[in-house]
């Protein structure tokens, strides 16, 4: 029976407590949401840091506080900090969480037009720099791809020796400037990956659930959580990240799929040994 790795992106950098009061800002709120998600069945916590006022930050010490607190509450979980941060941050700012030597971190593989004048910059040299930093520190990169060209970039850097196999991708759909959150686009992106790669699917808003289910049906893994979607149903806010995870666990069971524990996820993703 196949094992499904659930990732919970518990905060993101854009959603606010005005949108959903359960969005975490403080350390205690992050711990609460991480625990709810892990207790419900998430193996990976994808982590953006926020200050107590909700402002996004890549500050190393803020990440240290959050990671230490979440690790104490959820000792087996894989904590995956974002190196994407927020638009306008420098490469040096965005790389700060890697100084804490996490097991895994996101690695964005292309530049995006996020809307208006906002550009999420990831030049080829930046991607090479981020990949080198992760390799040096023994961090498993999650190759975050918003479009087909990002997959092509990642594979070019694999061939050039900058990124090591085994490869794990996160296909992100429905973000402005990237691939649409449609079954057609997911099928196209999935079949653009090498056959030996594993993949997670993230989709925005109302598209989260159907594409998460589609990912599981295609042999991939789902990402849920407030970063991508704050609602449980149309007009109804999710009470917690755990509520979103629990729904995926139930659906996976109906599909005769088992949920991977964090240690099983480490084996599936062929991650370096835990430090």
pLDDT tops 70 at residue 11 = yes
pLDDT tops 70 at residue 119 = yes
What number is the average pLDDT over the span 96-123?
95
On whether residue 274 sits in a domain, the answer given is no
On whether residue 62 sits in a domain, the answer given is yes
Of the pLDDT bands very low, low, confident and very high (cuts 50, 70, 90), residue 197 is very high
Q: Which two tokens stand for residue 85?
A: 């941060």
What pLDDT does 86 receive? Answer: 82
What number is the average pLDDT over the span 65-79?
98
pLDDT tops 60 at residue 101 = yes
On whether residue 43 sits in a domain, the answer given is yes
**What is the residue range of 58's domain?**
3-268
What's the domain count of the chain? 1
pLDDT tops 90 at residue 54 = yes
User: Is pTM, for the whole model, over 0.75?
Assistant: yes
pLDDT tops 80 at residue 14 = yes
Q: Where are the beta strands (DSSP E) in the chain?
A: 3-4, 7-9, 44-47, 49-50, 56-57, 78-81, 104-108, 112-115, 118-120, 140-145, 168-173, 198-203, 221-224, 231-233, 236-237, 258-259
Beta bridge partners of 104: 140
Closest-CA residue to 114 (of 204, 196, 36, 198): 204
What pLDDT does 85 receive? Answer: 84
What pLDDT does 237 receive? Answer: 98
Of the pLDDT bands very low, low, confident and very high (cuts 50, 70, 90), residue 209 is very high
On whether residue 273 sits in a domain, the answer given is no
**Cβ atoms within 10 Å of 251's Cβ, excluding its own:** 16
**Cβ atoms within 10 Å of 162's Cβ, excluding its own:** 17
Q: Which two tokens stand for residue 189?
A: 């992106």
pLDDT > 70 fraction of the chain, expressed in percent and rounded: 99
pLDDT tops 60 at residue 1 = no
What number is the average pLDDT over the span 200-214?
98
On whether residue 218 sits in a domain, the answer given is yes
On whether residue 275 sits in a domain, the answer given is no
Mean per-residue pLDDT over the chain, rounded: 96
What pLDDT does 2 receive? Answer: 75
The CATH number that applies at residue 12 is 3.20.20.70
On whether residue 261 sits in a domain, the answer given is yes
DSSP H helices, 218-268, are 241-254, 262-268
On whether residue 200 sits in a domain, the answer given is yes
Residue keyed to tokens 């190393």: 60
φ/ψ region of 116 (left if φ > 0, alpha if ψ in -120 to 50, else beta) reads left
Is residue 195 within 8 Å of 202, Cβ to Cβ?
Answer: no
What number is the average pLDDT over the span 240-252?
98
Of the pLDDT bands very low, low, confident and very high (cuts 50, 70, 90), residue 275 is low
What pLDDT does 211 receive? Answer: 98
């Amino acid at each position: 029976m196949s094992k499904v790795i659930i990732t919970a992106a518990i905060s993101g950098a854009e959603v606010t407590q005005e949108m959903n009061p359960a969005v975490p800002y403080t350390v205690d709120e992050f711990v609460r949401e991480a625990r709810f998600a892990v207790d419900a069945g998430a193996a990976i916590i994808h982590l953006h840091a926020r200050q107590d006022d909700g402002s996004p930050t890549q500050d190393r010490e803020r990440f240290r506080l959050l990671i230490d607190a979440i690790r104490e509450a959820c000792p087996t979980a894989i904590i995956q900090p974002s190196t994407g941060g927020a638009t306008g941050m420098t490469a040096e700012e965005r790389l700060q969480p890697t100084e804490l030597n996490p097991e895994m971190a996101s690695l964005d593989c292309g530049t995006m037009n996020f809307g208006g004048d906002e550009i999420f910059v990831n030049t080829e040299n930046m991607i090479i720099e981020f990949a080198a930093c992760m390799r040096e520190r023994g961090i498993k990169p999650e190759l975050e791809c918003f479009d087909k060209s990002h997959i092509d970039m990642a594979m070019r850097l694999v061939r050039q020796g900058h990124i090591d196999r085994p490869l794990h991708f996160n296909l992100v759909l429905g973000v402005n400037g990237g691939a649409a959150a449609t079954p057609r686009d997911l099928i196209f992106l999935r079949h653009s990956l090498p056959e030996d790669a594993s993949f997670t699917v993230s989709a925005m808003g109302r598209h989260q659930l159907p594409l998460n289910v589609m990912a599981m049906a295609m042999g991939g893994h789902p990402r849920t959580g407030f970063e991508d979607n704050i609602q449980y149903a149309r007009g109804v806010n999710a009470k917690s990240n755990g509520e979103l995870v629990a729904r995926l666990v139930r659906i996976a069971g109906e599909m005769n799929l088992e949920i991977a524990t964090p240690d099983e996820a480490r084996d599936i993703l062929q991650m370096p040994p835990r430090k």
